[in-house]
A and B are shown apart, each in its own frame.
Chain A
């Protein structure tokens, strides 16, 4: 069983490698986004030294690292699940001797590793040549960041599984998945560090899992917090991971009982 999932991860990794055009266009997308926010923030700061507790330099490296983290945790498995359901392929998937959701997670992981190695790695190196950038100083700092990033991947993947599973009940939920994408980008701190939001909004977001997807690992990377606090954030991530697992399992159970295959 363990070998099966390893193989799935490897297969997805190789698939990503095979579609090279996709890879180049991905690099362009990330360059576009980081560039857009880099200039936007430059214009927003203007002459001001500090906003929301961050200097303009800290902000630019925050933007860069947030996007690089996203390269690892981002995936489209909700769209893939939706397509499988719409086309009826999911019926075949369900009679196969593996867990469909774990398979999707493994595939997403293969994709994540690919992007992390070939996209985020070179990307962050190039960016560090152009804009002032602080890497974590010690091996412990790196370890904490990577651990937190792994949890970020798991939580984001769970959120995707959840939205993907809604296809079983709604038949078409493209709008929901699109909205989820922007909600996650906003509330995870990708486009705007959480510290920028007004106090009440920060309180509300404290009760939601989205910060765990990007803000926590990015904060750990910038070294703006102590090790103790970093462990605390990782603890929060672990709790969220367990919490989100519950609705996934419930929905998955319900989905299997009421599956209507439309295509095939």
Chain B
């Protein structure tokens, strides 16, 4: 426990340092914020344009889909803030940086996360909340007093699901010493979580629920707030799925580190 507290303390220190370095390039910092916003809004454009042609997408209305997308942005932003090692394979394995990581006093995964932390992604949370707020207003949703707490639990769970899957996939680099190109794969798969799973066929639905459980990041938890009772059971399982998948990711990572021999020069 002492160890975990220590890691959180270091995260806080790194965040402080990070903001200092980021603000050194002020123009770029601002540019990055705007760019992130553009990427997030563009998916919204897709939804809005499609719904100018059709009234419903498999029983889901436009505003419900927008709500799910807004919800999805929040855990996704949290995930991309702390698990920013998109170039893990290249940066740590091929160039041999991993050897340095292993000499550091804190857990090696925490160290890798720290070095690639991207706190400016936190603004994705704000965008997500605004989009959700808009949709909730349009849909006239009502909330209980405990809903914000449930929201936090579901969001953290969603981020951990992404984190677990991503950690496991990054750990593949320990076993193969060549380029793996897995980062773009995840980047592409994550978009499945944004839309209601019942639009996909059964095989994809099973994959998104049990194998790469990205449905637990978007649709399932969002369905709770949309009061879609059919999905309540799934929404309730979100924290459990998070624990299992993050544990699995950590396990594969630790296993990979033991196997790691060093490939860089």
Contact = CB atoms under 8 A, between A and B. Distances in A.
Interface of A: 18-22, 25-26, 28-29, 32-33, 35-36, 39-40, 42-46, 48, 51-52, 170-176, 178-179, 182-183, 186, 191-192, 196-198, 201
A42 B57 CA distance: 9
A85 B32 CA distance: 18
A29 B185 contact: yes
Interface of B: 25, 27-28, 31-36, 38-39, 42-43, 45-46, 49-50, 52-54, 56-58, 176, 178-182, 184-185, 188-189, 191-192, 195, 199-201, 204
A175 B124 CA distance: 13
Given A33-B188, A39-B200, A170-B28, 12 more contacts: A18-B178, A21-B178, A21-B179, A22-B178, A22-B179, A39-B199, A44-B53, A170-B25, A175-B28, A175-B36, A186-B46, A192-B46
Classify the interface of chain A: helix, strand, loop or mixed.
helix
Contact of B185 (A25, A40, A42, A172): A25
A43 B204 CA distance: 14
A43 B58 CA distance: 6
Contact of B25 (A25, A172, A179): A172
A171 B25 CA distance: 8
B28 A26 contact: no
B192 A21 contact: no
A196 B25 contact: no
25 contacts: A18-B178, A21-B176, A21-B178, A21-B180, A22-B178, A22-B180, A22-B181, A32-B188, A32-B192, A39-B200, A39-B201, A39-B204, A44-B50, A46-B54, A46-B57, A170-B27, A170-B31, A173-B32, A176-B35, A178-B36, A182-B38, A182-B39, A191-B46, A192-B50, A201-B49
A176 B31 CA distance: 7
Contact of A179 (B38, B43, B56, B182): B38
A170 B27 CA distance: 7
Nearest to A170: B28
Nearest to A39: B200
Nearest to B36: A175
B199 A40 contact: yes
B188 A29 contact: yes
B52 A198 contact: yes
Nearest to B52: A198
List of 6 A-B pairs having minimum Cβ-Cβ separation, nearest first: A175-B32, A175-B35, A43-B199, A179-B35, A22-B181, A25-B181
Contacts of A26: 181
B185 A174 contact: no
B195 A175 contact: no
Contact of B57 (A29, A43, A178, A191): A43
A19 B181 contact: yes
Contacts of A191: 46
Given A19-B179, A43-B58, A196 B42 contact: no
Contacts of B50: 44, 192, 196
B194 to A, nearest CB: 10
A171 B57 CA distance: 43
B172 to A, nearest CB: 9
B185 A28 contact: yes
Contact of B32 (A39, A42, A174, A198): A174
Contacts of B195: 40
Contact of A44 (B36, B57, B178, B185): B57
